[in-house]
Chains A and B, each alone.
Chain A
Amino acid sequence: MADIVELEAADLTEDTQKGKFLTFCMGSEFYGIEIKYVTEIIGLQPITEIPEMPEYIKGIINLRGKIIPVMDVRLRFRKPYREYNDRTCIVVIEIREVSIGLIVDSVSEVISIPDEEIVAPPNVAKDGNKYIKGIGKVGNDVKLLLDSDKLLNETDLETINDL
């Protein structure tokens, strides 16, 4: 079990959550996800596979009696699959009452990125960038900011039809 990071998201008001991102890494890239969507971060859990699902839906997990689906973000972005290890984390996000776990290589930290440091992504839709809604600059680093809503709700017709 990896360390379990308890986020006290509930204590943060909308205001203090604004501009805050949870960052995680996948390969050499850093991604950010708005903290207001994140409910908790858990270590890797046993995943029950569901047949006939797209490859990036790894299955479902039991989160304290609540069954939630988990998505491998790597596969969602069509990056090569990587064996899970003890750094692998599941970031549980909730958008409009839908909970889902995102499997990421590892989480790093919560950072603030002011609006003026965020630029629109270049228009290259091919390699999965359509789930990036902005690029945040933090010092010399660049964080790809996820469009969580799209990630969850945009049905990837291509993949489903493949089944």
Chain B
Amino acid sequence: MSSQYINEPMLDLFIFESTQLIEQMELLVISNEKSSSYDSDAINEIFRIMHTIKGSSAMMLYNNISGLAHSMEDLFFVLREDKPQDVNYSELSDLVLEGIDFIKLEIAKIRNGDEADGEPSELNKRLKVFHSKIKGQNINVTIGNEVNSQERSTLENQQYYISKVKTNLTASKNIFEATIHFEPDCGMENLRAFSVVNDLQELVEEYYHIPQDLDNEDSASVICEQGFTLLLKTPYSFDEIHKVLVQTFSLKNLQLTQVENSELFNDLQNESHFLLGDSPLKIPAVLGREDLFTNQGEKESLLAAAQQIIISVSVAKLDQLMDLVGEMVIAEAMVTQNPDLKGLELNNFDKAARQLRKITSELQDIVMSVRMVPLAGTFQKMNRTVRDMCKKLNKEVRLQLLGQETEVDKNIIEHISDPLMHLIRNSIDHGIEMPSEREAKGKFRIGTITLEAKNAGGDVLIIIRDDGQGFNKDRILAKAREKGLIQETEDQIKDKEIYNLIFLPGFSTNETVTEFSGRGVGMDVVVKNIEAVGGAITADSVPGKGTTITLKIPLTLAIIDGMNIKVGDSFYTIPTTAIKESFRPKSTDLIVDPDNNEMMMVRGQCFPILRLHRIYQVRTDVTELTEGIIIMVEHDDKTLCIFADELIGQQQVVVKALPDYIRNMKKVRGLAGCTLLGDGSISLILDIEGLMI
């Protein structure tokens, strides 16, 4: 980068802001494409986004991005201003998305510290052709010319531009000729010249200039080379005119001379009669400032809106912050529960300590929540996948997104985006049938893929459901057998088990590879990605009706609502979603069967009791069921009564994995992970499903 003022934070900001804008634009394009026309808000918005990116990338000297953004901006300018009819919006979307991809790729290069060396000229050319096409519609002249041909023809006839003459010609005595040279590279020289003319409006009665046409961008280069020459008639003196002209911005050189002979002037005047008093500029009526703000309140709300700023923070810093808060929580406990304080009556201290505890726990909550990001962004990216796939395969698919607001730790989001995309491609490629085929089967012509996220029993479930043809059981079986993945005969293996064979490594082969869903990798890569975050994947299918693939993202890294309970000195956390109810049992409701299995009678139904202290061998004084508490938990229609000493309270907790060292040693039954409680102590998170086995 040539300029020393472009430093790191600026580059970061450029990348951050441009990425956001591009993603926003992609969504706009995809959502508008569906309605097969672009609404005016979207056109405005896209125009503005391209304009901003054009400017920012030009400042950073990424001229390829800037140039492409300029082409797209031009396109949307025409859409906005001319509102052309019969635009091929599908083609437009293709072009714009291609442009978006180009910019995305360049930004990715920049982010990686590589040279942004993409060459958009071919795409630029196609954008220009499209530009001419939509422009052409409106003016009915030959296409292929970037500048509005109609405008140009008018301009060519326009010999000299003369302002409205305010005073009587005869009153003017002085005629001056001025030649102005601007600083090189100041840009838009024609408009700088216009600015000079504009400043002189009040002082002169009549003027002519060379080049004549200041609206034409070609004039800029003429002014660059030859300077801008003005001939003016004015009642003011040489000094007064000089004083005004010398204030011209980006002025490099000014020659001002008084002309004695007014013949030149008269000649010019004759030639340009027809233009007098006719300003070619359309200027909208000036808005009074009263119109801008109808009331004070509105203004204030605008100000407030502007002050709500979103910043980006690196995840590493958040991790650090979370650790620090954890440390603070411990320090707080060390102070407020200090053994030195034992037996002391400290009313004020206790009050202050309570306040401190409240603040630290709030702080912890906030820090934990900051890392959570809704899935919406990832989900919406799938719109693009669906669109591209449908276009290539000539299928029609509607993508339905549910539960987008479900929050997942940022780290997880990064791991599930690719698998999701792959699964959706698969659904469209192999699941959803061709429209004609669907109609023949009596289905809706348009297929539906539902992408749903929900919190369930402490897990985050992401479900991809399609209404396509479903899996072909026989083919899966045949293939699995061929690959030596199963030995059982068909009647020994359940349908669901068959479907899940597709996730086995080595199942997908080149045979099933198509341009999209194949890519030489198979489901096993998806599985690997999901397992990398400790998740699981399952498939189910109904022939002819569709397929459902469920990703279960484990508690790890996620925040859950948990109920903390205590057994002896140990703490456990149960995901609130799994809890049906909790109560202190009455001895009359307890049943012990001949095998010494304890059970609990609740409203006429019998449920097994699981004593935590017993299965985890925790020393506790509470062994009488009537002295402790029963927490009824539920999973997949199964119910279990967990027995603990007492309930501690409900709290949002961040789930942490048990250390690898522990996990490698043994998978402990019924433990999903652990979490930190407010006082810094560790609570073990129970895996209800695991406890039921």
Contacts and interface: CB of A to CB of B under 8 A. Distances in A.
Interface of A: 1, 46, 48-54, 57, 60-62, 64-69, 98-100, 152, 155, 160, 163
- Considering residues B325, B326, B615, B676, which has the most beta carbons from chain A within 10 angstroms of its beta carbon? B326
Given A1-B334, A48-B570, A48-B674, 6 more contacts: A48-B684, A49-B618, A53-B662, A62-B676, A100-B659, A155-B664
Contacts of A54: 665
Contact of A67 (B325, B664, B671, B674): B674
A59 to B, nearest CB: 8
Interface residues of B, number: 33
Contact of A69 (B334, B616, B659, B669): B659
A67 B682 contact: yes
Contacts of B570: 48-49
B660 interface: yes
Contact of A98 (B326, B661, B681): B661
B666 interface: yes
6 contacts: A48-B681, A48-B683, A48-B684, A60-B674, A67-B676, A69-B662
A70 to B, nearest CB: 10
Interface of B: 322-327, 330, 334, 570-571, 615-618, 656, 658-662, 664-666, 668-669, 671, 674, 676, 680-684
B666 A53 contact: yes
Contacts of A52: 616, 666, 668-669
Contacts of B684: 48, 50
Nearest to A163: B666
A101 to B, nearest CB: 10
A5 B681 CA distance: 22
B327 A65 contact: yes
Contacts of B669: 52
A61 B682 contact: yes
B360 to A, nearest CB: 13
Nearest to B571: A48
Contacts of B617: 51
Contact of A51 (B322, B615, B656): B615
B660 A98 contact: yes
Contacts of A155: 664-665
A66 to B, nearest CB: 7
Contacts, number: 80
A34 B323 CA distance: 27
Contacts of B664: 155
A160 B666 contact: yes
Given A52-B666, A57-B665, A60-B662, A65 B671 contact: no
The 4 closest A-B pairs by CB, nearest first: A65-B326, A65-B323, A51-B616, A48-B682
A51 B570 CA distance: 11
A98 B663 CA distance: 12
A62 B616 contact: no
B658 A62 contact: no
B666 to A, nearest CB: 6
A68 B616 contact: no
Contacts of A48: 570-571, 674, 681-684
Contacts of B671: 50-51
Contacts of A65: 322-327, 676
Contact of A66 (B323, B615, B618): B323
A115 to B, nearest CB: 30
B665 A62 contact: no
Contact of B665 (A46, A64, A66, A160): A160
A1 B669 CA distance: 34
Contact of A62 (B322, B660, B661, B681): B681
B614 to A, nearest CB: 11
Contacts of A62: 326, 330, 676, 680-682
B652 to A, nearest CB: 16
A147 to B, nearest CB: 16
A58 to B, nearest CB: 11
A25 B665 CA distance: 27
A96 B671 CA distance: 26
A50 B662 contact: yes
A64 B327 contact: yes
B674 A51 contact: no
B668 A50 contact: yes
Contacts of B658: 50, 60, 67
Nearest to B676: A62
A99 B617 CA distance: 26
Nearest to A99: B659
A66 B320 CA distance: 10
B147 to A, nearest CB: 63
A116 to B, nearest CB: 34
Given A65-B323, A67-B656, A98-B660, A51 B682 contact: no
Contact of A46 (B323, B616, B681): B681
Given A49-B570, A51-B615, A52-B666, A64 B681 contact: no
A100 B322 CA distance: 20
A72 to B, nearest CB: 14
B685 to A, nearest CB: 12
Given A50-B684, A52-B666, A163-B666, A64 B661 contact: no
B324 A64 contact: yes
Contacts of B660: 98
